[in-house]
Structure 1
Amino acid sequence: MKERILTGDRITGKLHLGHYVGSLKNRVELQNQYETYLLLADVQALTTHFEKPELIKQNLRYVALDYLSAGINPDQATIFIQSLIPEIAELTTYFSMFVTVNSLRHNPTIKAEAKERGFQDMYYGFLGYPVSQTADITFCKAALVPVGEDQLPHIEQTRRIVRRFNQLYKPVLVEPQALIGDIPRLVGLDGNKKMSKSLGNAIYLDSSREEVQEKIQKATTDPARIRKTDIGHPDICPIYAYHQAFRKEGSDEIYESCKKGQIGCMECKRNITQRINDLLEPIRERRIVYQNDPKKIDEILISGTKKARLAAKETMEEVREAMSMNYF
């Protein structure tokens, strides 16, 4: 049998090129090698969007459509909805009984995101995100979790929680390994260190050719360059970062031409616009197919959630037996 992996997203909005480069492209490739469980994390989306739950309902199908359009094959990957697997919530509760608040407060990923969002005092759900994430991973006994370096603290905390559970009760849960890949962070159109929907500096996967062209034309470039012949600094230019991400074969040439003042910013933008549109074209074609058959999306989500629920029930039978909570 193939090893099982668990990955997914908090459904806080449509996916963009940063998501594609950082995880989605990798997931499309991994589904051919592993038994893939793909989580639509609607409950965890409430950690930052609890005041607007109606947006989560809307985003659920947006993200599912992005997955399918990008090439996720529902015959190979199990796409499921977190809130419809009550065993995840039950497992989260059990784990929370022996996880200390201090260990959660010292999780560097939690600390960094809390600082980024300006949280003076953390909500219980936000602080307990790693506990909930552990339940996401362990309910289906995923052996591998694809992550970047910045997510390693979460996975290490998951491993500690699993070890603690297995020591306290019985060794019924799988201790997952991080599947570390070269997961780049795509710079935003405004030069910000990351492309983000909250910063409004993203190119979305559902963008038309015209929208891509318009956004690239308005994107920030090297502020020191006024004329084509001015010496450029490609290392600080978002457009060059896109050449590296999407047009790798010609990026070295672009780098040298920019530094020598041999290529203008508009030509550079035209080149990358064409490349991004070429990348998005098959995604657009698949999107049209699914958009014209919205019931198909619901069928995929219902089917995937049913399959995930079966795995959850099997795991929880073992968990309750290990904890002597199988009363009848």
Structure 2
Amino acid sequence: MSTAIDRMTGLRPVVLTGDRPTGGLHLGHLAGSLAERVRLQETCDQFVLVADLQAMTDNAGNPAKVAEAVPEVVADYIAAGLDPTKSTMFLQSGIPELSELTMLYLNLVTVSRLERNPTVRDEIRQRGFERDIPAGFLCYPISQSADITAFRATKVPVGDDQLPMIELAQEIAIRVNRLGGSEILPRPEAVLSAVTRLPGIDGLGKASKSLGNAIQIGDPADVVREKVRMMFTDPNHLRVSDPGRVEGNVVFSYLDAFDGDVAAVADLKDRYRAGGLGDSVLKRRLADVLEALLSPMRERRRAIGRDEAMAILAAGTLRARAVAAQTLVSVRSALGMPVLV
């Protein structure tokens, strides 16, 4: 890891990213920010958050689900290529400074501003909350802003559905800086991946743990092949000879995301549109591509036991807390609050 002096003098960009521990990570995470994180850890100071407090905002009735998923998420990080000597992995609930920053920021954001967030509106509808919205869920974008600003992050790898969260973090940073009369917090910028949103295997929305329509990083080979076999294609492509539709075809979306032979995929699209190419051929190719991708990840994942995953998380949380504590002192000072030493 680079030194604290490197961070304070701005020698390397700072990245903050993370996931809710509600189950294992899936190919949507891999195609989105996970692959970008692996790249960024070589040139940036990267903090990777296991957001257990945020996961509790809609899992308060089942806290064991969240706790059990924490080491699973860390194992997925290692499997995907994150290196704990290059990326600081930490547990959100292990850093009380984040909760204090959240409380301070709550006073800088209105309820109407939170209700205008399109991502939160979609998630409220998906979960059927209607007006019975847990207060923590409505306010979780503020908690995300605390996570981002606590480490003075300048880059945040996200999918396009998370752009409203980055906008809020930017607004909060501007407000704190204005109140403090100096550049206390940098304005974070979103880093979008080439694949911003991977569809679920059912074609009904994006791949999601909660919807059960995703291929998990830790899925066994036979499960992956079965999920590929069930993928939504073109419902009007009834016979091999029928021309097929590529747009909205989940198999092609996954081939675009994970098949490195771009020319071969382009040829498959042409043949499918013309007619004469069966769905089973596409699915066999995709299953082979995914097996080549996931097999080494599966081996790395199996090598990480629960105790080792939690030890990695404990060490990273200790490092991350020292950085967040410094930021909290600066924010308290900017807001004119007493700073006790």
Q: TM-score w.r.t. structure 1 length?
A: 0.94
Q: Which residue of 1 aligns with 2:82?
A: 72
Q: Which residue of 2 aligns with 1:286?
A: 300
Superposed, which structure 2 residues align to 1:45-64 within 5 Å?
Answer: 45-64=55-74
Query: In the superposition, relative to structure 1, how do residues 148 and 298 fare at CA in structure 2: closer, same or farther (>3 Å)?
Result: closer
Unaligned runs of 5+ in 1: none
Moved over 6 A (4+): none
| Equivalent of residue 316 in structure 1, options 328, 331, 336 | 328
**One-letter code aligned to 2:153:** A
Query: In the superposition, relative to structure 1, how do residues 218 and 176 fare at CA in structure 2: closer, same or farther (>3 Å)?
Result: closer
Q: Which residue of 2 aligns with 1:268?
A: 282
Superposed, which structure 2 residues align to 1:5-16 within 5 Å?
Answer: 5-16=15-26
Q: Does 1:325 align with 2:335?
A: no
Q: Which of 269-278 and 182-191 deviates more? A: 182-191
Q: Which residue of 1 aligns with 2:136?
A: 125
Deviation at 1:166, TM superposition (A): 2.0
Counterpart contact for 2:32–2:158, Cα < 8 Å: no
Deviation at 1:327, TM superposition (A): 4.3
**One-letter code aligned to 2:85:** D
**One-letter code aligned to 2:253:** A
- Structure 1: distance between partners of 2:80 and 2:35: 8
Q: Which residue of 2 aligns with 1:109?
A: 119
- Structure 1: distance between partners of 2:340 and 2:295: 56
- Structure 1: distance between partners of 2:240 and 2:169: 52
List per-residue Cα deviations over 1:132-170 (Å, max 9, x = no partner): 111101111112212233322211111111211222235
SS of the aligned residue for 2:304 comes to helix
Counterpart contact for 1:231–1:259, Cα < 8 Å: yes
Deviation at 1:313, TM superposition (A): 1.6
- Structure 1: distance between partners of 2:238 and 2:87: 49
List per-residue Cα deviations over 1:248-291 (Å, max 9, x = no partner): 52211111111222221112111111001001112012112213
Deviation at 1:118, TM superposition (A): 2.4
- Structure 2: distance between partners of 1:103 and 1:81: 28
Unaligned runs of 5+ in 2: 1-10
Q: Which residue of 2 aligns with 1:17?
A: 27
Q: TM-score w.r.t. structure 2 length?
A: 0.90
Q: Which residue of 2 aligns with 1:159?
A: 170
**One-letter code aligned to 1:295:** D
Q: Which of 50-59 and 212-221 deviates more? A: 212-221
- Structure 2: distance between partners of 1:154 and 1:218: 33
List per-residue Cα deviations over 1:287-312 (Å, max 9, x = no partner): 12213xx4321221111000001111
Q: Does 1:224 align with 2:270?
A: no
Deviation at 1:40, TM superposition (A): 0.4
Q: Does 1:302 align with 2:314?
A: yes
Q: Which residue of 1 aligns with 2:6?
A: none
- Structure 1: distance between partners of 2:278 and 2:52: 44
Query: In the superposition, relative to structure 1, how do residues 327 and 68 fare at CA in structure 2: closer, same or farther (>3 Å)?
Result: closer
Superposed, which structure 2 residues align to 1:167-182 within 5 Å?
Answer: 167-171=178-182, 172-182=184-194
Deviation at 1:226, TM superposition (A): 2.6
Cα RMSD for the two superposed structures: 1.7
Counterpart contact for 2:33–2:192, Cα < 8 Å: no
Counterpart contact for 1:148–1:182, Cα < 8 Å: no
Counterpart contact for 1:190–1:220, Cα < 8 Å: yes
